[in-house]
Structure 1
Amino acid sequence: MKQSIILVVCLFALVQARPDVSHLVKSTPEPHVPANPYVFSYQAGRAPGHVDRQHTEVSDGSGVIRGAFSYVDPKNQVRTVQYVADENGFHPQLSHQLEDSAAVKAAKRKHFETYNRIAQEHASQTPGQVALAAAPHTSAAVAYATKKHLSAFERIAAEHAAIGAQQEAQRLALAAQSPHGEVEDGQYHP
């Protein structure tokens, strides 16, 4: 009892000691303040005297930012990205063209072959035929998984029905034994 009173007093003190932050919430938006011009640049490296990354950025205060950053990639090649950030977003320009690996080239080729085949099939069909052709077909694996799922669902539903019937029978038996038949939630209430 003593601990409960102390807890209530502490909670009350915390609620009363809560600082008023209403002055931090402003109902009127602040006017747009133009950005100040700035310039920054840095270079860094993993070893003394070795530069493997650098960044330079300039803003003239009009909201347009121009910059560039460079780094040494895992293949020991210097990669540079020049960019402009303005009211329309971030616009990077890479100084290098990334090459696809053999696996990526094969995947792209397969994707475009499949895409072109499907596009040709659909080009010769009316819209109604395209919808019918696009309907998925059930594979043997999907049919097996569906049958297994439905079988488990039916088994579980039957188990739940049996449990419900057993609980109802227990409730009725308990009600029959009570003098006034007042049984709620399986509990006798005199």
Structure 2
Amino acid sequence: MESLLFCCLILSCLSGVVRSAPLEEEITTPPPPPRPYAFGYAAGRYPGHIDRTHSEVSDGSGIVQGSYSYVDPRYQIRTVEYIADRSGFHPILNDAVPDLPSDTPVVAAAKENHLRRYAAIANAHQVAPGQAVVPADTKAVQFAKNRHFTLFQQIAEEHARLAAERKAEGLEIDPNSLEHY
């Protein structure tokens, strides 16, 4: 029995040595492939009002490029572009207001023509102070007005006739009463 116990002890020691040999080798797993991404959003404090944006792109290798914008307390739009890599976060504040593009000769000529026509129309519509301008009715408006006045006159005559009949019958209409409605 003792020899059996001794054999089991030796086998268990040898099996531990055999098992530990492969653990001494370092098993490495290859790194996962790069996982690039891109996102962007625009948000505001109430519907239809955008007061901040953010967009970001990464190629998955650890370098991230992006920008964000916001409205500061003085109602100025601030934009920050940045690069984040292994050595840190590198912001670039963009305070410069971009120059407006200059007009091409065709656009400049069109603007000049527009302003000239606008001034001519404005001068033609000038009215002396205190003088009222009453627009003239078109034929359709005049027809509708005449029709309205004719119908109004017919209704007024009908009401006068009914009031006279009631008065002749001795039925006075109390204007404050709702019975006749």
Q: TM-score, normalised by structure 1?
A: 0.34
Structure with greater helix percent = 1
User: Normalization by structure 2: what TM-score?
Assistant: 0.35
